[in-house]
């Protein structure tokens, strides 16, 4: 079991492209029927596949909830199994993931496709919830903890279905 500590941001410009180390296309789907807030995801990149369960911090007894932390259980599965499971997921997300060469944590930028086309989010995974790190100038507002922008939520209520006023409010 791993503790995922992640902060998320909207992205203002494409200046991050100068720091791309590697990129991959991801297809992921969500197995419906969440229990106690646990999300079950299947993901593949055409080379490998993973089954992931994410649980909010409060699911573990006597642990406070946190918008930037969750329990993460991720397991490699055969690619064919991942592709088959994904075919059975009615809620899916596709994105191009870019791993960046930046200091302060493990940085990625996700450029969403399909019904989420146009949405670009940056994430940094941290060792500690109170870790300090330099903010690149191309970052927009922080959206950590905004559950509407979780991949699972975007699979059910895609970005392109959001009212324009709701999108603009994120930039305020």
Q: What is the DSSP string of 124-170?
A: EE-SSTT---PPPTTEEEE-TT-GGGSHHHHHHS-GGGS-HHHHHHH
Residue with tokens 């100038």: 137
Interval 130-154: pLDDT, tens: 999 999 999 999 999 899 999 999 9
Torsion of CA 109, 113, 117, 119, to 10 degrees: -20
Whole-structure pTM value: 0.84
- What's the CATH number for 2-170? 2.40.320.10
pLDDT band at 64 (very low <50, low <70, confident <90, very high): very low
pLDDT of residue 82: 94
Nearest to 114 by CA among 7, 28, 48: 28
Domain spans, the chain: 2-170
User: 16-46 burial string, b = 16+ CB within 10 Å, else e?
Assistant: beeeeeeeeebbbbbbeeeeeeebbbbbbee
Partners of residue 56 on adjacent β-strands: 70
Interval 152-168: pLDDT, tens: 999 999 999 999 999 99
pLDDT of 59 > 50? The answer is no
Interval 95-120: pLDDT, tens: 999 999 998 899 999 999 999 999 99
CA dihedral over 72, 25, 126, 37, signed as positive or negative: negative
Q: What string of H, E and C letters represents the secondary structure of 16-70?
A: HHHHEEEEEEEEEEEEEEEECCEEEEEEECCCCEEEEEEEEHHHCCCCCCCCCEE
- As a whole number, mean pLDDT of residues 19-46 equals 88
pLDDT of 46 > 60? The answer is yes
- As a whole number, mean pLDDT of residues 122-135 equals 93
């Amino acid at each position: 079991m791993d503790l995922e500590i992640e902060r998320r941001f909207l992205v203002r410009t494409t200046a991050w492209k100068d720091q791309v180390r590697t990129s991959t296309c991801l297809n992921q789907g969500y197995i419906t029927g969440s229990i106690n807030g646990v999300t079950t995801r299947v993901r593949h990149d055409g080379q490998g596949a993973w089954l992931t369960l994410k649980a909010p911090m409060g699911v573990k007894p006597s642990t406070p909830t946190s918008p930037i932390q969750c329990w993460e259980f991720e397991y490699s599965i055969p690619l064919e199994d991942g592709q088959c499971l994904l075919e059975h997921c009615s809620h899916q997300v596709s994105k191009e993931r870019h791993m960046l060469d930046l200091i302060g944590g493990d940085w990625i930028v996700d450029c969403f496709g399909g019904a989420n086309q146009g949405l670009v989010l940056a994430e940094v995974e941290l060792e500690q919830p109170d870790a300090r790190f330099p903010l690149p100038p191309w970052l927009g507002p922080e959206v950590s903890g905004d559950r509407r922008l979780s991949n699972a939520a975007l699979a059910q209520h895609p970005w392109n279905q959001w009212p324009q006023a709701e999108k603009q409010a994120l930039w305020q």
